[in-house]
A and B are shown apart, each in its own frame.
Chain A
Amino acid sequence: MISDRKDIPAIADEYVLGLLDHGEAAQLEADMEEDKELMAAVAASRDRFLPLDMSIEPAAVNDSLWSRIEASLQPQVKPAQPSPPPGLNDNRAGWRLTAISAIAATVILAVGLAFSLMRTTEPVVVAVLVDEAGEVRAVIEDFGSQQAVIKMLADFDVPDDKTIQVWTLPSRDMGPVSLGLIDGIRSARLDRPSLPLPRNGQLYEITLEQAGGSPTGRPTGPILAKGLAKLPR
């Protein structure tokens, strides 16, 4: 979260220039969804610098690039959005923005019910991780003690020399912290390091790292899925 509101235009500019590190940029993208002022600052910054891209000498592009794009397109799948109750919906834009969280909420219900009804300890937060296409790939339950659980809800293509690593961003100052590696592709219990109590909106993500985990202690590989924590009610 941004600690000082007056820093918003400065942080938005640094984000648009690509100067934030991986964790900071991911956190900003997540914050932006719930912070209109931050979103407006990013929008203004993008449009301010856009002429530097518009004035470029165009490249010669042939049709084979389009053919490759066309070949990888999937038909649009409309997320099943619950209809807003009539009369209460004066914020259609906001509603659409929460489409992803709506899917996420459904999954929290389905997955959450399945295993939370059968046990006594409640996680402090639950994060539903979605990939770039908005597909749900995994759910993390963080118990806040020394333990977190990840449930894989999809298959991942993990080469032999790679491993999936689980991360969270307890705070911008702390930066991303590893919660552990997943041995193979399966649901797992993670012995997490001692961290501040997870909070609502905290970022969780899984990345593909070299076997043995990221050599730098920070995420270096591609993000497979990410999501923001919610407090179970």
Chain B
Amino acid sequence: MLISPVSDDLDKALVACARGDQMALRAIFECEAAHLVAVAQRIVRRRDLAEEVVQEAFIRIWTHAHQYQPDRGSARGWIYAIVRNRALNLLRDSGREHTVEEVEALQERDQADEVMAAWHRLDRNSRLRECLGALDEIRRRGILMAYVGGYSHGEIAGRLQIPLGTAKSWIRRGLASLRECMA
């Protein structure tokens, strides 16, 4: 990413969207769509579904821009959360195993690599990278599978071949360590 508008610009764009300025939504699209499609695709796997997710998300950004307030976190975090929630809902509503079962087997290995790659791609000086690195390997993997790949507790337990309760408590403890490390 070469040019990243400061978050302040996204704040202003959301305010302009709420006023009915379509150019502001277009500006958000120009800056963020390439990332957002990639984020959605990492979760739903298929490019066509990822575009569908981003399309619906932009309509929601447009209709809900008036709700954005700085106490809801950064404007970018708010926008990405809308895309992530859409992608997760699509996955859960249709059932991952059904939607993508034909590509599942082929892509499973790629997906596992992609999940870990997300951690390696973090900036070397990033606090998140360092704190994820301080976790046990399996806890780190569980957290990344959930956030990056959109896996549920059950799917993580299955893929890591551990009992569901163990997966839940490892992830919970991993998240607690992460919060402590990043505080």
Assess whether B38 is in contact with A56, with CB atoms less than 8 Å apart. Answer: yes
A86 in the interface (beta carbon within 8 A)? no
B137 in the interface (beta carbon within 8 A)? no
- Per DSSP, are chain A's interface residues mostly helix, strand or loop, or mixed? helix
Q: Do A18 and B18 form a contact, CB below 8 Å, given A46-B78, A46-B81?
A: no
Assess whether B171 is in contact with A19, with CB atoms less than 8 Å apart. Answer: yes
| Contacts between chains A and B (CB distance < 8 A), count | 156
A40 to B18, CA, bound (A): 22
Assess whether B77 is in contact with A43, with CB atoms less than 8 Å apart. Answer: yes
Assess whether A75 is in contact with B171, with CB atoms less than 8 Å apart. Answer: no
Assess whether A51 is in contact with B126, with CB atoms less than 8 Å apart. Answer: yes
Q: Do A69 and B34 form a contact, CB below 8 Å, given A19-B153, A46-B81?
A: no
Which bucket holds chain B's interface residue count?
Answer: 35 or more
A65 to B37, CA, bound (A): 10
Assess whether A52 is in contact with B148, with CB atoms less than 8 Å apart. Answer: yes
B179 in the interface (beta carbon within 8 A)? yes
Q: Given the complex, which residues of B lie within 8 Å of A72, measured CB to CB?
A: 55, 59
CB distance from B127 to the nearest CB of A (A): 9
A155 in the interface (beta carbon within 8 A)? no
Q: What are 29 A-B residue pairs whose CB atoms fall within 8 Å in the complex?
A: A10-B172, A10-B175, A17-B146, A17-B147, A43-B71, A43-B77, A46-B78, A47-B74, A48-B128, A50-B74, A50-B80, A51-B122, A51-B123, A52-B144, A54-B4, A54-B35, A56-B42, A58-B35, A59-B41, A59-B50, A65-B37, A70-B22, A70-B26, A72-B59, A73-B25, A76-B19, A76-B20, A93-B71, A222-B93
Using A18-B150, A59-B41, A65-B51 as known contacts, list a sample of 6 further A-B pairs with CB atoms less than 8 Å apart, ordered by residue number in A. Answer: A22-B92, A51-B122, A53-B80, A55-B122, A59-B35, A59-B38
The 6 A-B pairs of least Cβ separation, nearest first, read A43-B73, A58-B34, A76-B20, A46-B77, A17-B146, A59-B37
